[in-house]
Structures are given as C-alpha cells and as structure tokens.
Structure 1
Amino acid sequence: MKHARNLFSLLFLFFSVGLFAQNGAGVTIRDTSGPVISRNIYGHFSEDLGRCIYDGFWTGDHIRMDVVEALKKIRVPVLRWPGGCFADMYHWRDAIGPRDQRKHTVNTTWGMVSEDNSFGTHEFLQLCDLLGCQPYIAGNVGSGTPAEMADWLEYLNYGGKSTLADLRRQNGRDQPWDVSFWGVGNESWGCGGGMTPEYYAGEYNRYSEFCRNYPGSQLKLIASGANSDDYNWTETVMKNINRGHTWGISMHYYTLAGSWEHKGSATQFNEDLYFRAMAACLRMETIVSRHSAIMDKYDPRKRMALVVDEWGIWTDAEPGTNPAFLYQQNSLRDALIAGTTLNIFNNHADRVKMANLAQTVNVLQSLVLTEKDKMVLTPTYYVFDLYKIHQDARSLPIHLWSPDYVHGGEKIPAVNASASKDSSGTVHVSFVNLDPAKKINVRVNLPGIAFKTVEGQVLTSAKFTDVNTFDDPNRVKPAVFNGAKKEGADLVVELPAMSVVVLELK
C-alpha cells in the first residue's frame, strides 16, 4: 500500500509538471498524522554579545517591555542564554546578589568590553517569565567545573533547605525556577574548549553525572554537538555518551553569504550573493538528514532530539559598528532564509525538537533592532509571526515538485513548503518562493483533506535587499494574500517572486 501511495504521488507530480509547464510546481499533502511540530523549533537565542542583552533586552536596570511585548506576540517558546561562546567563560556567581556589588569582568569572547553583570540569572529568568517561555541555559564546561555547574542547578531548582537555596531566597526568589533545558557546554570542538569528540564525550559523562533532578524538576540535558557537517562528531559523541542521561544533542549551522573572511554585506549585495546564500541555506536539509541518520543508528526510537540551537545568516557587521558586536541589518533575503529553514525543521519534526535562531536582538539574524528608545521589527520577525500557527500542530506529509531557480549556470529548487494540522482540524501550508524574478503557480492536491475556504498572508517586497529601518519601519511586512483559490478538490496558488506565503484551509 505504501508503494502504491508513493506511485500515486509521483504520478500526480508528473501530471502537475505537464499542466503548469516550466513555471509551475506540484504538491501533494496527505491527511496522515505525522509527528508533532514542537513549539520549541520556534525558539530563540540571546547571548551576552554586543547589544543583544545590554541595550537590547536590558537598559540599565530594567527589561525593555516593548521588546517583550513584540516577542510575546510571536509566542516565543524557549530562550537560550548566556551563550554561545560566552557560556564557557561565564561564572554564574559573578551576576547574582545586589547589582552594585556584582563582580565586574571583561567579555574576552566578544570585544574585550567591560561587563558589569547587572543582567544575570535572576534577570534572565524574570525575562523568561515575562515572555511566558521556557529558559534554556548553557552551562560552562570549557572553563568551569562539575561542582560549579552542580551548584548552579541547586541554586536554580532546589526548593528545600540548603545554603544555595537560601542564597537564592536572600536574592529575592523564594520558589525554585525548575529549569529543565540544560546545555552541557557549547561548541566544545571550538570556543568551548577545543576538544576532540572522544574527549568531549568523556567530559559530558562526567559533568552530566552531577546534574541532578531535584523534586519538581526534570532536567533535559543537551550535549554539545557538531559544527555544520562534522558527522564524525555526532557519530563519536552518540556512540560514547550516556544516552540515558541525554535529552538531545545540538548542531550549529550558519548560512554565509560569502566566505568566513568576507561574508558579504547584509544590505549591499547582488544576485550572485543572493543565490549563494539561498543555496547555502538549502544545505540545512542535507545536514539535518545526515545527522538524523547517524542518530537513528544509536537511537532508532527517536527518543533523543536534534537541537539546532544556533542557525541563521551571518554577514559582515554593519559599517561603523564594532565588528565584534555582530550587528547586521535584516533584509527580505533573510526572511526567505528563515521561512525555508523553518520549513525544513517542520518536515523533520520527528527528530528536530528544538531550534534557536541566532540571535534575538541586535545580533546576527535578529528579530528586533533597537536604538535608544526606538525599536523596529525585522522581516525575519514577521516570518516567525506567520509561522507560529505550526507550533504544536501535527505535521502533514508533503511531496513537492519544484521548478528550478537558475542563476549563473547553477540551479536550486525555487519552491519549498511544509504543512500541518492543528487541534481544531485547520490545515496550514507555508510556501517560500526563492526565485527573485518569477512568480510560480502551484497546484496542491489534498487527498483526504476537505476544505471550504482558504485565506492567507504574504511577505514580500520590491527588492531582496529591502529592510525595515527606524525611519521606514514598515517597508517589509505581511499583507493579505489573495492569490490562492479552491479549484475542485485542489488548491491553486500563485506565489509571487521572492515571497513567503502562509495559507489557512478550513
């Protein structure tokens, strides 16, 4: 029966090709319940880096509520902190207690700037409370000790009588926070210690042995995973760690417009760099698939999560800013990268259970940019707003044939998509058209899915370099989409060039 269904899908796609010729795409979406698309796939990352925390979330002595309200609207489910590379130089005791008595340190990781530690454990967890999201803390393995990590967990999660629990109460928090998501190091192959995978696996086992579950809290330990396509790291760590102590293993992948030495401007780029960025973004499909296949060897029941806790586009810093602060603008190109990447994660929801865009405010592929008391929402922010309907919905199997986007003698698929069905029975489909010049017609076959109405929103702009600025904050934002219609039992969609389209079928 399975082979018959696959044959039917292929026949439908060939039919679609003939019907829509070179400018069309064909999609089959079946009403077959897939894995839940975890809300935590839509997570975010806030490192003590540049102006992400200070001047971003935190201004002197308080959390910025305009930023909080914007992020609440997109239902941020989980926030990762304090790093990143900063995590393995971070000592949590430096940033608790009265702020005027906290230790002043130097951020040797990002720019050698003075750090007054006015934003620490209590402030971060207050931020998570305000956002209504779960905290994900990355513990210090690189320059820390198992005892330091164990003490932090006791301070956070123990509700009984102990010196550390009483210290937490003295600092203003009576009840434990019950922090669940806990990273055992970060990028241990690089800035987190320069370790080999064999060595890190031993360190993970040692540290994780002292990460205790206190009453009312159940830790979800996340091992430091691979850089991009380092499949040997995943193989070695999966083989050697105590998988019974492990909720997930991480993986980091950044879309780079150029090389590591010169990544390209966030705003001044031509179609060559645009194409290269899109091709690099689409590599996420292969990278996730191959890491997942390795995990399947050791975890065939898929109990462990692949956690893509750093992803996004990394360009050159904006001219005139501190290059160590990684401040970059955010264009329509970046929104298309976000939509494409989230479609890939949705389609791998059986293994990808958390992901964290890098980063939330003023760093890399930000959702929000701030300048003193001003705030602007980026095109990437609006993708997360459009896609929030997938959170905790059931993924639907999707078979897609796409025409190619051809540039400079190279080609990539122009269209990508994902689909889900929520608890009310409503179906949502998210499309991305990467072709900057051609609209693409899509015929969607929906066997077993009955619907009467279709509504949608679209995110696009006149140029792929278009950005939102403090003077022009609404240049790139969603609009009502009227390019989809019901045709018999099928859905016919006209995707504008370089667009993200999300449809609701009822």
Structure 2
Amino acid sequence: MMKALNCTIAFLLVMVLGVQAQNKITLHTDEADTKINREIYGHFAEHLGRCIYDGLYVGEGSEIPNIRGFRKDIVDALKDMKVPVLRWPGGCFGDTYHWKDGIGDKSKRPSIVNVHWGGVTEDNSFGTHEFLDFCQVIGAEPYINLNVGSGTVQEAAEWVEYITSNNQSPMTDLRKQNGREEPWDVKYFGIGNENWGCGGNMTPEYYANLFRRFSTYCYGAQYRIAGGANVDDYHWTDVLMRETKNVPHLINGLSLHYYTMPGGWPPSRSATDFGKQDWHDTMYEVLRMDELITKHSNIMDTYDPNKRVGLIVDEWGTWFKSMEGTNPGFLHQQNTLRDALVAGVGLNILNNHSERVKMANIAQMVNVLQAVILTKGDQMLLTPTYHVFKMYSVHQDAQLVPMHLASEKYEMNGRTLDALNASASVKDGVLSMTLCNLNPDKDIEVEYEVTGDEYTMASGQLLTSKNITDYNDFDKSTEVVTKPFKVSKPKNGKVKFTVPSKSVLLVQLQGEQKL
C-alpha cells in the first residue's frame, strides 16, 4: 500500500512540477530531406526613415569611410552576417516609386516626397543602379518590388526589361547610356506590395486580375511574387491561389506579412521600457506565426499540393512605439534581448516550415523597426538581432531535421506557452540545433536524442543577458552578444545541457572526422 502511495505521489509531482526529463527533443537526421532555403534569412530595406540615407548610403563625398557611397562598416558587417537576399524599395514606398526618377546623372534626378514615411523629400540618389551595386558588394540576391498601386503595366515591364534584357531595345540602350553594359541577373520580382492597404486598398478579386495582367508583361522576371495576405486574411490567400491556379507560369511565390506587435495596432508599447507581462505578450505574438503559416499553407495546399508556389514572408519582426525624440514616421526603435528572442523563435518557425516557406525578409535592415544595425553619425552598432542572424546562418541551405519537442510550460496570468522553441538542420556532417528559452526566470535542462547518425563532439554559442530590457548602445555595444557555451560530449546518441533563462542557444554536434 505504501509503495503504491509513493508511486502516486511521484506521478503527481511529475505532473504538477514538471521534471527535467519532460524537456526532450528527438531528432531524426535520417529523415532530413527538405532544404532550408538560405533566402529565409533575407532582409528588407525600404526608403523609410534612416534606413537607406544615413544608414546604408552616405554618398561618395561623405567623410564616413565608404565604398561607392555605401558605408564600409555596414558592408563588412552584412557580409559577415551572410545576407542571402535583400528586398527593396518597399514596402508602402514601393507603390509610389517611379524607377526612372532614380537613374542617370544624380544631379539631374527629380526629387520625391515620401508621403508614407515622415513626408520628407528625397533626392533619388539611391536608385536601381545603386541598389543592385550594393547587393553585389554584400553578396546578396536582389528582390525588387514593382509599383502596382500607382504605376502602370508599361512602367513595370520596362523596369524589368531595363534590368534583365540583353536584347537591342530602348530600355537596354538606356541602361547602357547610364553606364551598365550587361544586364543584371535579378531573379526575384514582387508584383506590388500590401495591395489590400497602402498598395491600393484593393479587394483580393481585383488584385488577382491585376496581378495576372502585370505578371504577363514582366517577361524577364524569373520568380514572380504576388502580393499576399495581411496576418490572418485567409480569404485573400484563397482568392489569389484560386485565380492563379490555371496560369502557373505567372506565379512563383505568394507573400505574407506579420509583425509581432503586443497590444495590437497602432503600436503603443515601448521597445525598452517593459516588464515581464509585455515580455510574455511578445512571445505569445511571435509564436502565432506558426499558426498563421500553417493555415495559409493549408489553403495553398488545396490548389498547389506539390508546393510549387513558395510562401514568402517578406515582412516580419517586432513593431513597437517609435523612440521618443525621433520622427514617428521613421519607425526608429531600440533592439533588446526581447528582440533577439523574437528573431530566434521566428527563424525556428520559418525553418520548420521550409517545405512551403521559400523566403523571408525581416523588417528592416538599418535604423528601422527590428534592425540588425543602428547608426549614429560615424558610429555603428550591431543589435542583438544581428547576433542571432549570424548565429543562425549555419541553417542556410542545410537540410531540415524533423524533430519532436516536449517542453514544459511558461505561464502568466492564465495564458500558457511552451517554454522551449527549436529547430535543427544538418549540413556537411554537422548537426546544428537552435533553441530558445522563452522563460525569463528559469533555466531549463533539456535532453536531445539523435536518431539516424552518430556524433561524438559538441560545441555551443549562447546569447543572453542579465535583464530582459538589456540592449546594445553606442557606449555599450557588447552588452548583448554571443559567447561560447560548453556542451558535454554526446553519449549513446544523447546530449543534455541546461538552457539559461531568456536565451538563444546554438548547439552543434559532429563526428571525430570533422575535427
């Protein structure tokens, strides 16, 4: 009787308290047959605030060291982070942008008023040639958004021709007159942006027909991306997939936009002054990305069971209230440890959906929203999000490793989340596992069990900090950075370690032959 009672008590303790053994991840390396496209680690640079001007581009006459006008410190940092693809010129700005204003002699280019973002006047000194040159300098694939909202089919078609054509034609001649003899190899073209909102306030039925028309005349576009849904507008996805099903040559990708915005629209919460409830709310919101991708993918599967059309999450990241003392239209915010967790969780989710998700672009690259780099005059700093992207670059073009994750819960005020979030990949014999501990107060011991391959060595990198609100600033640029993390050698296909609270962790396993 006493033995049975002790067993019952032990069982109840397991159920109520949760034990270390429940935090277990089983990996199946023998089932790794889906590639994680490197483009999932893409970025977004819109003509917004200080992203382009005073961010990426300072001009050749600047005293700040530059390469043909591009800040050298930023170029070096982006190359080190391995940016695979860069989206430009918008965003909302893209559907007011007329590309011919941004080519030719810079002194003769007409200016443009940025009606969406702060009402500032830009001189168009950063245009098509500058963007494509910048992509070449940092080693990224260009992704260009065409103007559907206020542009014409002819304008879009001529832009594609100007960029990609090697035939004798007026646009090819114009490109050569502007100093570029050979065409650029640009693969990705977006046909409009947020056409349900700032891109024209269209219905999905109207936009679907407009997309078919624009896409028909963009002959040189290899990969055409249709403007997709906002958050959970599943009707938009259904209409676009239905109306393009019989013209598969016109569509290769469908976009999705989702921002982690605790408290909803308009953004009202501070990027730096927050407590544990805000932290929990933010983790809840970023985890919602998994549900959204799953449901949009299920609709796409109905019309495209072979997953030929990629889901392109070309705007994602945190969106908080703009920093005090800055132009609200510039969307400038700091980047804390909380943003690093959002980046880690978001990338894990995107990795795990790589069968359908073929590209993603965090918003935005410099000085705007969840930026990877911030600048102040001639100073530059790398944000916690930058360090997560650099850490996670091991997943680019690797094979996704299927996993089963059993996690304890993280609860606050009646809302419960999994405390752990993870993804894994294998490449060149190295198994890379990225793991986030969402709980800001508790270290969690986790056990990994690997089936299919044998590994004998382990190493790790960790990103965390003392406080949830910690961030890098120009006088403390190494407050939140990655550091080495010691992991014991695997035994019998298993490895155990403790994941510190509020952290992002990379653990890599490999065999003796890799040393």
Q: TM-score, normalised by structure 2?
A: 0.92
Residue equivalent to 2:475: 471
Q: Distance in 2 between matches of 1:484 and 1:191?
A: 52
Partner in structure 1 of residue 50 of structure 2:
51
CA distance, structure 2, for counterparts of residue 185 and residue 105 of structure 1: 19
Unaligned runs of 5+ in 2: 1-13, 61-68, 511-515
- Please tell me whether the aligned partners of residues 314 and 359 of structure 2 are also in contact (alpha carbons under 8 angstroms): yes
| Contact kept in structure 2, 1:95 and 1:121, CA below 8 Å | yes
Match of 1:29 in 2: 27
Task: Report what 1:307 is aligned to.
Answer: 312
Per-residue deviation, residues 50-109 of structure 1 (Å, max 9, x unmatched): 000000001134111110110111110000000000000000001100100000121111
Q: Give the letter aligned to residue 492 of structure 1.
A: K
* 1:166-185 superposed matches below 5 A: 166-185=173-192
Residue from 404, 418, 422 that aligns with 2:409: 404
Map 1:416-427; keep pairs closer than 5 Å: 416-422=421-427, 424-427=428-431
Percentage of pairs with the same residue: 49
Q: Distance in 2 between matches of 1:198 and 1:378?
A: 41
Give the SS at the match of 1:486: coil
Contact 1:20 1:441 in 2 (8 A): no
Separation of aligned partners in 2, 1:464 and 1:303: 41
Which of residues 473, 492, 506 in structure 2 aligns to 1:502?
506
Aligned 1:93-492 pairs, distance under 5 A: 93-213=100-220, 219-241=222-244, 242-422=247-427, 424-492=428-496
* Bigger mean CA offset, 21-30 vs 172-181: 21-30
Alpha-carbon offset, residue 34 of structure 1: 2.6
Distance 1:212 1:181 in 2: 12
AA partner of residue 350 (structure 1): E
* CA distance, structure 1, for counterparts of residue 175 and residue 226 of structure 2: 27
Shift of 1:17: 8.5
Distance 1:405 1:281, change over 3 A: same
Aligned to 1:5: none
- Counterpart of 2:497? 493
Residues 24 and 441 of structure 1 are in contact (CA less than 8 Å); yes or no, is this contact kept in structure 2?
A: no
Cα displacement string for residues 164-195 of structure 1 (whole angstroms, at most 9, x for unaligned residues): 11111111111000211000000000000000
Q: Alignment partner of 2:325: what SS? A: coil
SS in 2 for 1:205: helix
The whole-number CA distance in structure 2 between the counterparts of 1:300 and 1:244 is 16
Contact (CA 8 Å) 1:461, 1:476: kept in 2 or not? Answer: yes
- Indicate how the Cα distance of structure 1 residues 244 and 284 shifts in structure 2: closer, same or farther if over 3 A, else same: same
SS of alignment partner, residue 122 of structure 1: helix
Q: What is the deviation of 1:252?
A: 0.2
Tell me, in whole angstroms, the C-alpha distance in 2 between the residues paired with 1:454 and 1:196: 52
Runs ≥4 residues deviating over 4 A: 16-20
Structure 2 residue matching 1:223: 3-state secondary structure? strand
Give the deviation of 1:435 after TM superposition.
0.2
SS in 1 for 2:50: coil
Between the aligned partners of 1:292 and 1:493, the Cα distance in structure 2 is 34
Q: Distance in 2 between matches of 1:283 and 1:137?
A: 28
Tell me the alpha carbon deviations over residues 361-412 of structure 1, each in whole angstroms, 9 at most, x when there is no partner. Answer: 0000000000111000000000001000000000010100111111122211
- Aligned-partner SS, 1:355: strand
The offset of 1:22, in angstroms, is 6.2
* 2:500 counterpart letter in structure 1: P
Per-residue deviation, 1:243: 2.9
CA contact (8 A) 1:369 1:378 kept: yes
Aligned residues: 486
Q: Distance in 2 between matches of 1:400 and 1:155?
A: 49
The one of 67, 79, 87 equivalent to 1:72 is 79
CA distance in 2, matches of 1:283, 1:418: 16
Q: In structure 2, what residue type is equivalent to 1:298?
A: Y
Structure 1 residue 41 corresponds to structure 2 residue 37:
no
State how far apart, in whole Å, the 2-side matches of 1:489 and 1:26 are: 13
Distance 2:322 2:21 in 1: 37
2:298 is paired with a residue whose SS is helix
Is the CA contact 1:312–1:358 (under 8 Å) kept in the aligned structure 2?
yes
| SS of equivalent to 1:445 | strand
| Shift in alpha-carbon separation, 1:407–1:484, aligned structure 2, 3 A | farther
Q: Report the TM-score when normalising by structure 1.
A: 0.94
How far residue 110 of structure 1 moved from its aligned partner, in angstroms, is: 0.7
